[in-house]
């Protein structure tokens, strides 16, 4: 049961990164890709109807995490106090920037929100990556399952007391940013035509090179800070298929970009994200929040809700997810196809 | 770190109070927009359809504000109230997670469809989308009220050996007795809010001689909804709400009423300033014996005063609780008066030309926001000193390792962001109202975001 919920939460977070990932990536590149107001509006139009639904995966995922592993929720959210509140601020600013930009037709108004959209999206991508980095590296949990970590200390790789932001977590943050840029560029290439489409191609290609480099660096660094991750794979060798998915996705991005097959490239970056995230959680399992002192780690057992609570939850959660899947398929079908500003009519 | 307690309380109070200003309007408007759209579906009067579209725009901006200010609340349970989350997470996270699974996904899909879909998918689907938006926002309200009702009146739990509590009866939590009156009262308050805003804006349009034909529709729908919902707030929902407080939180009731001494034939205090040191009301204006009659009927009865409860169980801010309650009840009574008078004039056909009444309706717009906020202050201050009534004190629920400096830092950040947001919201509202219902076509179809 605990394992089912571990998978369920991981699934929701993966869905979040897959879906909101491309609109975060879009925010991180739109200032450079779009040359005028018309092109900016095209980008916003491509994500406008779906971004809010995408973000619901974060909220619902957070709620499910709270429900399935209350101890984990309490411990990690309070331990990451400052960065988490900053993420909330960024989410607020970014949401407003997407929604309010179109309300007043004025170049200064638009420029301001464009900048906010860029800043919010870029920093969120980095923060989310850094958060994952912290989980993988482990946090200084005490015996009661609580911890406090400063936002940063000295960035010294050999520091005894690394901060939430240090060389490793920032590296993972950058990896996340580049990943989402590639993902966002692939999505926007699918949704646009002509010159804009060509520009997203170029962005995807250039950032793909950076992504390959960062993936190698990030992987080496990860096994250096947390060598125990390999244990999971050695105990359950079938897990090796997950990194293979990521590698296949990474290769696919480059291949399909070269062949100008936008949809296949987008599916490849999706596969890469799924592969990377699932490899990470597979390595972390059965821990949910590894501690610096392994004895204090939170695991799926000691952080879980009661059996009864998890059992009834499984019923409504399944129903809720089926409904959510229906809404999403319907919404993406309704708003499918290339974005053209001429047919303003939706 | 004990000292993070006060700033954490302040931060939650501030962010939740600010947040709720928006949903109380969107939940009320969701119903009224559905009503406007349904009237249009029956009589095909284009004015009603344009009215629905105009209010959809007001709804959209307000909805966005509600969404972005709502996210911090769900996360603050963990950031600031980790001990509480760990203690009760097995129960309250059920309802919070259900809100995500059932309400948020539904809302995000149908709000998009409602705001973008009319041209593309036709009137029937648009009407259906307005219904689903109504259901989604009210479902969201249900899950939050159920969570709060559990904190007010914990049910369906079991205590484990090491002291934490776990869920024992799912349906008992979902159908908590406390929830019914609280939900009915709270949603009624949202309708009062939507109705006053709609009627008040209609009054403004009629008074200023612009968009008069829309103004009259807004007045008609707003006043009818307003009179029904205002009365609903007094009876049955207000009555049953105070009844269950009297039974299950008698110490909160005594504090709300400013009732210090146990007595037969207790007075009902209308106005006066509570003096918590001397245990009396200064400058009182009272209805003799009124409180006993209100609680126990004409025969009256003994009402326990604060003096009979151990001081450690007293709500920790009695004057604010007392004022919140009195502001809520006072404003609620005034609302009934205004709306009954307006409804009478509507019935006699005087309303659209009697300018003083229109002025009153227009100037009344802010007050339902105040009354609803005061109502929530009453509920939440009355719950003190408990986080989960009788189970966990507020002082025990705060995150153990965060510093007060960190929390103050984030309060200041929230205050800054929310100040800017509030200004933006007002600017956008003023613009929408200035454009009026006729202008809506141009902007709605020409922008790209969900809420254009």
Enclosing domain of residue B228: 2-262+304-446
Beta-carbon-side half-sphere exposure of residue B146 (alpha carbons within 13 Å): 23
Average pLDDT over residues A73-95: 91
The pLDDT confidence band at residue B218, using thresholds 50, 70 and 90, is very high
pLDDT value at residue A105: 84
**Predicted local distance difference test score (pLDDT) of residue A307:** 85
Is the distance from CB of B249 to CB of B389 less than 8 angstroms?
yes
Mean pLDDT computed over A52-80: 89
- Mean per-residue pLDDT over chain A, rounded: 87
Of B90, B109, B168, the CB nearest to A53: B109
B166 at interface of A, judged by CB pairs closer than 8 A: yes
Range of the domain at A164: 2-334
Domain contains A340:
no
Q: Count the residues in chain A.
A: 346
Domain contains B270: no
Query: Which of A59, A102, A327 is the closest to B452 by Cβ?
Result: A102
| Mean pLDDT of the B378-404 span | 91
Could you tell me the pLDDT band of residue A342, with boundaries at 50, 70 and 90? low
Q: Is A312 within 8 Å of B94 when comparing Cβ atoms?
A: yes
How far, rounded to the nearest angstrom, does the alpha carbon of residue A189 sit from its chain's CA centroid?
20
Share of chain A above pLDDT 70, in %: 98
Nearest to B81, CA basis, from B161, B184, B12, B180: B12
For residue B95, being part of any structural domain is answered with yes
B452 touches A at CB < 8 Å: yes
Residue A99 lies in a domain: yes
- Asked if the structure places residue B69 within a domain, the reply is yes
- Give pLDDT, residue A141: 84
Mutation for testing the A interface, residue in B90, B173, B387 having most A CBs under 10 Å: B90
Kindly state whether residue A159 falls inside one of the protein's structural domains. Answer: yes
- Please give the pLDDT value at position B451: 45
- Per-residue pLDDT, averaged over B337-343, amounts to 96
| Displacement of CA B306 from its chain's centroid (Å) | 28
Chain A residues within 8 A of B89 when measuring between CB atoms: 66-67, 70-71, 73-74, 305
Q: How many CB atoms lie within 10 A of CB A240?
A: 12
> Considering the domain boundaries, does residue B146 fall inside one?
yes
Q: Between chains, do B106 and A89 touch, taking CB under 8 Å as contact?
A: no
**CA angle centred on B181, ends B177 and B186, rounded to 5°:** 130
Q: How many domains does chain A have?
A: 1
Write down the pLDDT at residue B440.
52
Instruction: Please name which of B3, B166, B144 lies closest in space to residue B73, comparing C-alpha atoms.
Output: B144
Given this model, what pLDDT does residue B450 score? 45
**Overall number of domains in chain B:** 1
Q: Can you give the pLDDT at residue B52?
A: 93
- A and B: number of Cβ contacts within 8 A: 243
Structural domain contains residue B385 = yes
pTM of the shown model: 0.91
Opening angle at CA B108, ends B107 and B109, nearest 5: 90
Tokens 């398929």, residue located: A329
Q: Is the pLDDT of residue B443 over 50?
A: no
CB nearest A81 (choices: B88, B406, B445): B406
Question: What are the tens digits of pLDDT across the range A281-320?
Answer: 888 888 888 888 888 888 888 888 888 888 888 899 999 9
pLDDT digits (tens, 9 = 90+) for A148-182: 888 887 777 777 777 888 888 899 999 999 999 99
Residue A108 lies in a domain: yes
B68: chain A residues, CB-CB within 8 Å: 91-92, 95-96
pLDDT above 90 coverage of chain B, percent: 67
Is B449's pLDDT higher than 80? Answer: no
pLDDT exceeds cutoff 50 at B423: yes
CA-derived radius of gyration, chain A:
20
Residue A345 placed within a domain: no
User: What pLDDT score does B447 carry?
Assistant: 46
Supply angle C-alpha A236, A238, A242, rounded to 5.
115
CB contact under 8 A, B105 and A324: yes
Give the number of other Cβ atoms within 10 Å of residue A147's Cβ.
20
Which chain A residues contact residue B446 at CB under 8 A?
102, 344
**Sorting pLDDT into bands at 50, 70 and 90, what band is A211?**
very high
């Amino acid at each position: 049961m605990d394992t089912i919920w571990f998978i369920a939460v991981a699934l929701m977070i993966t869905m979040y990164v897959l879906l909101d990932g491309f609109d975060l990536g879009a925010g991180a590149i739109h200032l450079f890709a779009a040359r005028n107001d018309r092109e900016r509006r095209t980008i916003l139009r491509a994500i406008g109807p779906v971004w809010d639904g995408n973000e619901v995966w974060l909220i619902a995922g957070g709620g499910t995490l709270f429900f399935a592993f209350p101890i984990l929720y309490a411990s990690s959210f309070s331990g990451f106090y400052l960065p988490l509140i900053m993420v909330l601020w960024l989410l607020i600013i970014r949401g407003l920037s997407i929604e309010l930009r179109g309300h007043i037709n004025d170049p200064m108004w638009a420029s301001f929100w464009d900048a906010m959209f860029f800043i919010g999206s870029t920093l969120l991508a980095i923060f989310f990556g850094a958060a994952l980095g912290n989980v993988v590296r482990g946090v200084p949990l005490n015996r009661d399952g609580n911890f406090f970590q400063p936002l940063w200390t000295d960035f010294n790789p050999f520091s005894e007391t690394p901060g939430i932001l240090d060389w490793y977590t920032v590296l993972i943050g950058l990896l996340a940013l580049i990943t989402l840029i590639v993902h966002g560029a692939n999505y926007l290439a699918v949704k646009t035509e002509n010159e804009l489409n060509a520009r997203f191609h170029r962005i995807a290609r250039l950032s793909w090179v950076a992504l390959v480099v960062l993936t190698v660096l990030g992987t080496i660094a990860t096994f250096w800070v947390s060598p125990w991750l390999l244990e999971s794979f050695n105990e359950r060798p079938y897990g090796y298929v997950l990194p293979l998915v990521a590698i296949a996705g990474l290769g696919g991005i480059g291949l399909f970009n070269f062949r100008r097959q936008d949809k296949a490239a987008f599916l490849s970056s999706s596969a890469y994200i799924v592969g990377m995230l699932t490899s990470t959680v597979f390595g972390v399992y059965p821990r949910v929040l590894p501690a610096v002192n392994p004895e204090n780690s939170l695991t799926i057992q000691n952080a879980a809700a009661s059996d009864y609570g998890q059992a009834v939850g499984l019923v409504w959660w399944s129903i809720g997810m089926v409904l959510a899947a229906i809404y999403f398929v319907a919404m993406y079908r309704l708003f499918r196809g290339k974005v053209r500003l001429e047919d303003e009519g939706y | 770190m004990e000292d993070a307690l006060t700033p954490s309380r302040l931060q939650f109070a501030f962010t939740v109070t600010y947040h709720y200003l928006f949903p109380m309007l969107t939940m009320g408007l969701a119903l009224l927009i559905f009503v406007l759209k349904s009237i249009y579906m029956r009589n095909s009067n284009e004015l009603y359809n344009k009215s629905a579209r105009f209010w959809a725009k007001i709804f959209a901006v307000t909805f966005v504000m509600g969404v972005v200010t709502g996210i911090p609340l769900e996360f603050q349970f963990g950031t600031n109230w980790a001990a509480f989350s760990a203690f009760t997470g097995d129960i309250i996270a059920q309802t919070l997670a259900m809100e995500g699974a059932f309400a948020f996904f539904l809302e995000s899909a149908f709000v998009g469809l409602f705001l973008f879909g009319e041209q593309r998918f036709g009137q029937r689907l648009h009407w259906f989308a307005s219904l689903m938006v109504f259901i989604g926002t009210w479902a969201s309200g249900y899950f939050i009220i159920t969570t709060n009702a559990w904190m007010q009146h914990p049910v369906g739990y079991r205590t484990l050996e090491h002291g934490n509590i776990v869920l024992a009866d799912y349906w008992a939590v979902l159908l908590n007795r406390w929830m019914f009156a609280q939900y009915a009262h709270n949603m009624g308050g949202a309708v009062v809010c939507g109705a006053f805003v709609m009627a008040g804006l209609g009054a403004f349009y009629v008074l200023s001689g612009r968009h008069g034909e829309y103004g009259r529709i807004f007045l008609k729908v707003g006043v009818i909804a307003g009179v029904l919902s205002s009365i609903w707030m007094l009876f049955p929902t207000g009555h049953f709400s105070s009844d269950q407080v009297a039974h299950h939180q008698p110490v909160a009731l005594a504090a709300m009423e400013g009732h210090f001494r146990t007595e037969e034939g207790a007075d009902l205090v209308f106005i006066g300033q509570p003096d918590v040191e001397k245990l009396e009301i200064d400058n009182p204006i009272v209805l003799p014996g009124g409180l006993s009659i209100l609680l126990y009927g004409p025969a009256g009865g003994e009402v326990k005063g604060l003096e009979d409860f151990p001081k450690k169980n007293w709500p920790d801010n009695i004057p604010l609780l007392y004022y919140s309650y009195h502001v809520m009840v006072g404003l609620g009574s005034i609302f009934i008066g205004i709306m009954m008078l307006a409804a009478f004039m509507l019935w006699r056909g005087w309303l659209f030309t009697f300018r003083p009444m229109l002025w009153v309706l227009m100037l009344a717009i802010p007050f339902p926001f105040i009354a609803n906020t005061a109502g929530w202050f009453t509920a939440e201050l009355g719950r003190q000193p408990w986080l989960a009534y009788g189970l966990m004190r507020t002082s025990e629920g705060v995150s153990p390792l965060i510093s007060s400096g960190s929390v103050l830092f984030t309060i200041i950040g929230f205050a800054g962001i929310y100040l800017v947001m509030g200004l933006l919201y007002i600017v956008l509202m003023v613009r929408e109202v200035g454009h009026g219902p006729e202008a809506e076509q141009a902007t709605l179809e020409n922008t790209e975001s969900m809420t254009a």
